[in-house]
Amino acid sequence: MSRFVQFALFAFFALAAFVAVVRAEDKFYDEDGKEISFFDSEIGDPDFEEDQQEKRSLNIRGKSSFGMAKRSLRKTEELFTHGPDEKETLWVNGVKITWYASQDLKNPACGNGSWDPKNSHHIGAVMKGWEHGPSCGDFIRLCNPRISRCVRVRIVDECAACKSNHVDLTKSAFKRLATTGTLDEGLTTGLTMWLSSKPNPWDLSLFGPFKLQ
Ligand SMILES: *[C@@H]1O[C@H](CO)[C@@H](O)[C@H](O)[C@H]1NC(C)=O
């Protein structure tokens, strides 16, 4: 083997080893021990009421395009409203949900300091120190039996005005669980809460960065 070939081989394996070490640091595993794959839809859950300005622009688009938006919306709805999964266990009955939005979502108590959830995320806030309840980073599944719908949500914030059995949600998550399917009622009761697992694949635009702190 020539010196050059030896060197080239050495360089190749050294690089391969380096890449393996660097990549190993970025690996995360789900509850089944499978490596979590991450993707960024950049959309999250599109079913939420944006601020006034965007609502207006939607109206300007006219009837026909609005109809199309509605159709595709129905499709995405199925993506987010199934469950509970086989392995999920019932946590508590009689849960109340409310919603919070936009500015209030910023700088969540369990955040990493520079990540801000949006209305299109599926995240929520609960009281600090809910005994036997979920805390920072936990995944829960909320189901509204009256409309046979569930949404998986990640707890990333604290809700000062909440007591136990109360989850404050983003508009997108709330709307899918609200009995009327709108934000109008502001509050929905009688939900079941299930202990859920980490999503795999994991949409960064839905659940935020893997590492919160
Ligand atoms: C926090 O998470 C965001 C989004 O993933 C990332 O861009 C940022 O670099 C993170 N910040 C820190 C301090 O880890």
Predicted local confidence at residue 14, as pLDDT: 65
Residue to substitute in 28, 106, 112, 204 for testing ligand 1 pocket (most ligand atoms within 8 angstroms of CB): 112
The residues that bridge with 157 in the sheet, in sequence order, are 125
Distance 3 CA to ligand 1 centre (A): 45
33 in any annotated domain: no
Q: Where are the alpha helices (DSSP H) in 61-141?
A: 63-80
On whether residue 212 sits in a domain, the answer given is no
List the Cα angle 37/196/25 in 5-degree steps: 30
Task: Give pLDDT < 70 ranges for the chain.
Answer: 1-5, 7-25, 48-75
pLDDT at res. 134: 97
pLDDT of residue 159: 97
In a domain, 28, yes or no: no
How far the first Cα of the chain sits from its last, in Å, is 50
6 CA distance to ligand 1 middle (Å): 41
Q: Provide the pLDDT for residue 66.
A: 43
Ligand 1 centroid, distance to 84 Cα (angstroms): 30
- 18 falls within a domain: no
Q: How many CB atoms lie within 10 A of CB 124?
A: 30
Q: Which residue type occupies 101?
A: A
Residue bearing the CA closest to ligand 1, atom 3: 115
Number of structural domains (the chain) is 1
**CATH number for the domain harbouring residue 118:** 2.40.40.10
Q: Which two tokens stand for residue 74?
A: 């129905």
Residue 10 lies in a domain: no
- The number of the ligand 1 atom at minimal distance from the alpha carbon of 204 is 5
Tell me, yes or no, whether 84 lies in a domain.
yes
Residue nearest atom 14 of ligand 1, based on CA coordinates: 112
Q: Which domain holds residue 49?
A: 38-207
Q: Is 77 left (phi over 0), alpha (psi -120 to 50) or beta?
A: alpha
- The string of pLDDT tens digits covering residues 105-133 is 999 999 999 999 999 999 999 999 999 99
Please provide the size of the chain in residues.
213
Distance 115 CA to ligand 1 centre (A): 6
In a domain, 49, yes or no: yes
pLDDT at 8: 67
Angstrom distance (rounded) from CA 145 to CA 5: 67
Q: DSSP string covering 145-160, please?
A: TTTTEEEEEEEEEE-T
Question: What does the pLDDT read at residue 51?
Answer: 53
For residue 177, what pLDDT is reported?
97
Picking from 27, 202, 18, 206, the residue whose alpha carbon sits closest to that of residue 121 is 206
pLDDT at 155: 98
Q: Is residue 21 part of a domain?
A: no
Query: Which residues have C-beta atoms less than 6 Å from ligand 1?
Result: 112-115, 209
Distance 112 CA to ligand 1 centre (A): 6
pLDDT at 98 (0 to 100) = 98
pTM score of the predicted model = 0.79
